[in-house]
């Protein structure tokens, strides 16, 4: 088989913020880098991030006294003690440095303006005087689950601003960024990864990309759910090629975040910055309710808590009926025209274009929807994937794991560049200290298997199941059985439905001929892997008999540190029909021993004190 071959020191699959940040770190040290993306880099989902990036700069008057220690504590509590505290510490320490680096590279952060500034908290207006010496420094807004205001922002288009800056940085460094390239398989021998088999989405031709190190930075898997804020490209593609190796695990597949404010009916995100800037949630009677459930944090409790409380309130009969199902209201009218037109301009455009609503005068219909995956390809603190030497992962595709069972808003966008830089530096160390031998046999084998897959689907050799019907069934199974609230009966039914769906996915055939630009073939090559990921989510949720962060079990409502202070590792072995679940300690050490979050309520079954003490840093 004649294929075009490409060679580089580093191959990065995914051109969002985390992938390009890791690429920039390696290129700055003189290594050759190729970055692949299924869309033009600036259309990566990183560009859709609105609210901002958390970093303890302490410049805002409401951020005085902030520090990496406070940020670290917020992150661990936000994770419901499910995170790797070593990674959380690396992140909290590195975030202020990275925000200033981004400013130097050209990100136009909103800045402190001296004088008296108007703020809203819970809809109530108040004023604070900014200190003169801070004028011009990077400012911040409030986000949920934080003790200080530390979310750096550029109005409500932070992701877009940072993505354009990062892409410019890659251009400056001479990095090759290729779009319309779909990585469909990794080249490996079961012990080491040496690149990927890639399908050109323009021509349909298979290509071979060989590299000494490979990074998966393909973002999330939200499109496994029917209701999600994620773009269509967030379909788990990177997760699939990793789990297909049979040796790389998915960490905490059951840890799926639901954002409180997806608009109804399209599920497009309106940023947490709305509530951070003073927006409130209202019920069918147009009354605030979050302060009843969460007197201290109200609308600015962590996302898992707000989503849970909103769902509880609707179940109590306080939802707003609509043709698209019940919802609640988000009210930002009191913020005024100037604030909405400048600091929430994308929210303004979304409301106008997708709802026909003017948020200065009208309420915004919202409800919880899938938004983020704490689940991801499991790596160590260096970003190295378990099981395959030379393979790394970063960003939402990875379970690094600083988020545990719930991430704080603003932490993931910051993670892209902070972890991207940290992991990029470790990749440089790997490239400097390792010689890699390329095996033509392994590459030919991967190419042959991929070509056989393409031909079998295109010729309907295994069946004629419609890929879109199968995807619909997978999405609905997760919506029905594995959403904000979960229980034994629904999860068992979800797993059973997905097992049948997996059989259908293995019998998908094309209606089209599969040649050239063919979205049907693109979807068909992913569908079996997507159903496997969905099964990992449902099976992981079924087996975890506790409630922690975003994983809410109605039948096991306590957080059980005694038996479940751990991380799920889900493998899909060759020839298997179900995932294999193993477990490891959530954190190798505790800088902050398990305790109460300070919001969210709920009973905690404590871990053995001696076990905790032995792992706590003195």
Q: Which two tokens stand for residue 442?
A: 């392994």
Cis? peptide before 265, omega within 30° of 0: yes
**Cα gap 31→67, rounded to integer Å:** 35
Q: Catalytic pick from 259, 407, 471, 544?
A: 259
Q: Catalytic pick from 223, 275, 403, 553?
A: 275
Residue 44, CA distances (Å) to 159, 179, 227, 457, 540 in order:
10, 10, 20, 28, 29
Q: Which two tokens stand for residue 606?
A: 């404590």
Cα–Cα–Cα angle for 154, 159, 163, nearest 5°? 110
List all residues 6 or more positions away from 521 whose beta carbon is below 8 Å from its beta carbon. 204, 454, 457, 458, 510, 512, 514
| 309 carries an active-site annotation | no
Query: Which has the closest alpha carbon to 372: 231, 266, 474?
Result: 231
CB-CB neighbours of 302 under 10 Å = 31
| 259 carries an active-site annotation | yes
Residue 590, CA distances (Å) to 82, 360, 583, 599 in order:
11, 46, 18, 21
Q: Look at the block and give the residue holding tokens 């490996």.
A: 188
Query: Which has the closest alpha carbon to 110: 56, 60, 55?
Result: 60
**Cα gap 618→611, rounded to integer Å:** 14
State whether the Cα torsion 157-162-165-167 is positive or negative.
Answer: negative
Residue 602, phi-psi category: left (phi > 0), alpha (psi -120 to 50), beta (remainder): left
List all residues 6 or more positions away from 387 whose beta carbon is below 8 Å from its beta carbon. 245, 247, 248, 249
Task: Determine how β-strand 280-282 pairs with β-strand 552-553.
Answer: unpaired
The DSSP-derived string for 528-558 is HHHHHHHHHHHHHHHH--S-BTTBEETTB-S
List all residues 6 or more positions away from 552 whose beta carbon is below 8 Å from its beta carbon. 304, 308, 484, 485, 486
Query: Which has the closest alpha carbon to 534: 260, 243, 259?
Result: 243
Active site members: 259, 275
């Amino acid at each position: 088989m004649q294929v075009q071959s490409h060679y580089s020191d580093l191959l990065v699959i995914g051109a969002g913020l985390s992938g390009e940040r890791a690429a920039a770190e390696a290129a700055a040290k003189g290594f050759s880098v190729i970055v692949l993306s299924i869309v033009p880099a600036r259309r990566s989902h990183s560009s859709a991030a609105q609210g901002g990036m958390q970093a303890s700069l302490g410049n805002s008057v409401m951020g005085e006294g902030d520090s990496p220690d406070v940020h670290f504590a917020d992150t661990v509590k936000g994770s419901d003690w499910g995170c790797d505290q070593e990674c959380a510490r690396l992140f909290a320490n590195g975030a202020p440095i990275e925000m200033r680096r981004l400013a130097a590279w050209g990100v136009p952060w909103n800045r402190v303006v001296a004088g008296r500034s108007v703020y809203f908290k819970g809809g109530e207006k108040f004023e604070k005087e900014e200190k003169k010496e801070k004028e011009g420094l990077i400012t911040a807004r409030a986000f949920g689950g934080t003790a200080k205001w530390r979310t750096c922002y550029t109005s409500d288009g932070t992701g877009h601003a940072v993505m354009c800056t990062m892409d410019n940085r890659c251009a400056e460094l001479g990095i090759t960024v290729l779009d319309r390239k779909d990585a469909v398989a990794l080249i490996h021998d079961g012990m080491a990864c040496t690149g990927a088999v890639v399908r050109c989405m323009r021509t349909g031709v298979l290509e071979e990309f060989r590299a000494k190190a490979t990074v998966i930075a393909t973002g999330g898997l939200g499109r496994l759910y029917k209701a999600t804020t994620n773009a269509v490209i967030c379909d788990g593609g990177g997760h699939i090629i990793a789990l297909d190796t049979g040796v790389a695990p998915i960490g905490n597949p059951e840890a799926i975040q639901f954002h409180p404010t997806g608009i109804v009916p399209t599920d497009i995100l309106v940023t947490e910055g709305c509530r951070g800037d003073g927006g409130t949630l209202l019920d069918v009677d147009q009354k605030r309710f979050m302060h009843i459930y969460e007197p201290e944090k109200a609308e600015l409790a962590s996302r898992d808590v707000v989503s849970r409380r909103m769902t509880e309130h609707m179940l109590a009969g306080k939802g707003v009926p609509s043709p698209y199902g019940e919802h609640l209201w988000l009210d930002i009218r009191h913020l005024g025209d100037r604030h909405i037109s400048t600091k929430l301009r994308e929210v303004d455009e979304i409301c106008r274009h997708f709802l026909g609503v003017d948020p200065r005068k009208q309420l915004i219909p919202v409800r919880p929807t899938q938004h983020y995956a704490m689940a991801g390809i499991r790596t160590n603190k260096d970003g190295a994937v378990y099981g395959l030497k030379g393979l790394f992962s970063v960003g939402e595709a990875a379970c690094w794991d600083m988020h545990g069972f719930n991430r704080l808003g603003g932490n993931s966008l910051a993670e892209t560049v902070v972890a991207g830089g940290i992991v990029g530096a470790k990749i440089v160390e790997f490239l400097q200290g390792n010689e890699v031998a390329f095996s033509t046999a392994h590459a030919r084998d991967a190419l042959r298997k991929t070509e056989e897959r393409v031909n079998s689907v295109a010729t309907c050799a295994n069946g004629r199941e419609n890929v879109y019907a199968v995807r619909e069934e997978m999405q609905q199974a997760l919506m029905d059985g594995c959403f904000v609230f979960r229980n034994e009966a629904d999860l068992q039914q979800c797993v059973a439905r997905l097992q049948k769906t997996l059989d259908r996915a293995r019998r998908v055939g094309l209606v089209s001929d599969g040649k050239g630009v063919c979205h049907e073939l693109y979807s068909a090559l992913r569908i079996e892997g997507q159903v496997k990921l969905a099964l990992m989510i449902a099976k992981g949720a079924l087996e975890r008999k506790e409630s922690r962060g975003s994983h809410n079990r109605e039948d096991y409502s306590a957080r059980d540190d005694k038996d479940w202070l751990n991380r799920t590792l889900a493998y899909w072995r060759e020839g298997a029909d179900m995932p294999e679940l193993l477990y490891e300690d959530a954190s190798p050490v505790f800088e902050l021993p398990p305790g109460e979050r300070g919001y969210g309520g709920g009973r905690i079954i404590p871990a053995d004190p001696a076990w905790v003490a032995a792992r706590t840093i003195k």
